[in-house]
Structure 1
């Protein structure tokens, strides 16, 4: 086991609280500097002093002033003055690229969302050449696909298909949605289910019930809703028949006299 020896605190650097504070107030408003919170030994003869930040809007942040002492020198020098977040500081969330933040429904009319050439969800419809990702080969793929009338330069890969299937199954059209959990039966026995072709046919179909929430959407076969084709109301829930009409004994002549 390899152990790393911790550097010994340099007494001169540790004691240089006033030097660190003087360097700090020379850079920022003295009213923004709070109490000395302690120090951190960064290395041999290198110490960082921490001061509370009293600036409005920076609750939990700390002023960090790093000082160092050269070998055989009596005085310390200031290396840097920075503002750093403490444990309770409010900081911006981790950056997430825009492409990864897009959710279904975010696109507006006229918006464009290009797909990378090396997107793992897609593969060339017609593979050509040793390296289909080479720029020249991609141009040839497009030309060949167009000549053959395939219509699509790229098609869904196995990975892309599996990602879509998992997303659909875990979504509102899957078996764990609140609608499905309270359903009387599953879509696999519903007359409104339209079967699809291809490798996903054993798991998914399309709802064709215009009264259902999922009309026109992909649903798993073990999904369900209250608009199932075989749903029947209990007698106590059925509409009550209207009573027999009352026999009208008023004649037209009597009606006119009224």
Structure 2
């Protein structure tokens, strides 16, 4: 059953009685089999009433038809404002829209795909800072072009580099991901990456927290891992005696010849 939130105020009596008119309006956009019982009318304002009818259209459970009627002051004949199909509390609706850029996950980009970043991306700052005084006015397009030209002339290589916010966002993402200490692989590891000979340290502010795994037999090979991460492919891991494979038996030397086989 669809529950409708009542509006304050008493609906206009002439408009509230125009149920048949409201149903006829719905039948202009829907089949008779798709329109159910009248669910009621509510006031939307002065001389403005909305009628609701159950929707029986296949694939739309919990939806309802909504017809809004009005009339001019001192007029008796209602006028149709709009007719729409709306979702109720139990209706099946699409999930909230998420921009494409926010829906992207690692591995979604295919060869040839482009993912441009915005000029004001907080994760990046100009490699050569120009006008970094907070009292300076924001840079216009020409000023930004000059910054890029200066970066090229100085041979800085990259026009922009990671900002403090960008570094922090990356660190939080890596630490909470599969290469962090809370990953199931790390919780069952015999030791942490800090003491592993396959760990390659990073430079910069993240060097005390992260490194890159260089063990080609490990799940994290070539990936960023936290120093308190770990796995079973640690360089110093040793198997207990009971975990070691059983030794192969000595080869048996067959001394039988073809003549011996004929006498058997």
CA RMSD of superposed structures (Å) = 2.3
Work out the CA distance in 1 between the residues paired with 2:247 and 2:101.
58
Give the secondary structure class of the aligned counterpart of 1:199: helix
Work out the CA distance in 1 between the residues paired with 2:242 and 2:75.
96
The answer for the alignment partner of 2:169 in structure 1 is 163
- Aligned with 2:121 (options 105, 119, 122): 119
Work out the CA distance in 1 between the residues paired with 2:110 and 2:263.
68
Residue 95 (structure 1) aligned with residue 101 (structure 2): no
1:257 positional shift: 9.1
The answer for the alignment partner of 1:142 in structure 2 is 148
Q: Taking structure 1 as the reference length, what is the TM-score of the superposition?
A: 0.90
Unaligned runs of 5+ in 1: none
Give the secondary structure class of the aligned counterpart of 1:79: strand
Cα deviation 1:121-166 (Å, max 9, x = unaligned): 0000002244574211111111111111111111100000001111
Work out the CA distance in 2 between the residues paired with 1:8 and 1:139.
63
Residue 239 (structure 1) aligned with residue 245 (structure 2): yes
Residue 216 (structure 1) aligned with residue 218 (structure 2): no
1:253 positional shift: 7.2
Work out the CA distance in 2 between the residues paired with 1:86 and 1:142.
54
The answer for the alignment partner of 2:3 in structure 1 is none
Is the alpha carbon distance of 1:166 and 1:223 closer, same or farther for their aligned partners in structure 2, counting shifts above 3 Å?
A: same
The answer for the alignment partner of 2:51 in structure 1 is 49
Q: Is the 8 A contact 1:207 1:214 kept in 2?
A: yes
1:247 positional shift: 5.1
Work out the CA distance in 2 between the residues paired with 1:189 and 1:256.
64
Cα deviation 1:174-193 (Å, max 9, x = unaligned): 11111112212111121211
The answer for the alignment partner of 2:28 in structure 1 is 26
Work out the CA distance in 2 between the residues paired with 1:176 and 1:217.
16
TM alignment of 1:48-67, pairs within 5 A: 48-67=50-69
Q: Is the 8 A contact 1:132 1:138 kept in 2?
A: no
Work out the CA distance in 2 between the residues paired with 1:207 and 1:131.
45
Unaligned runs of 5+ in 2: 1-6
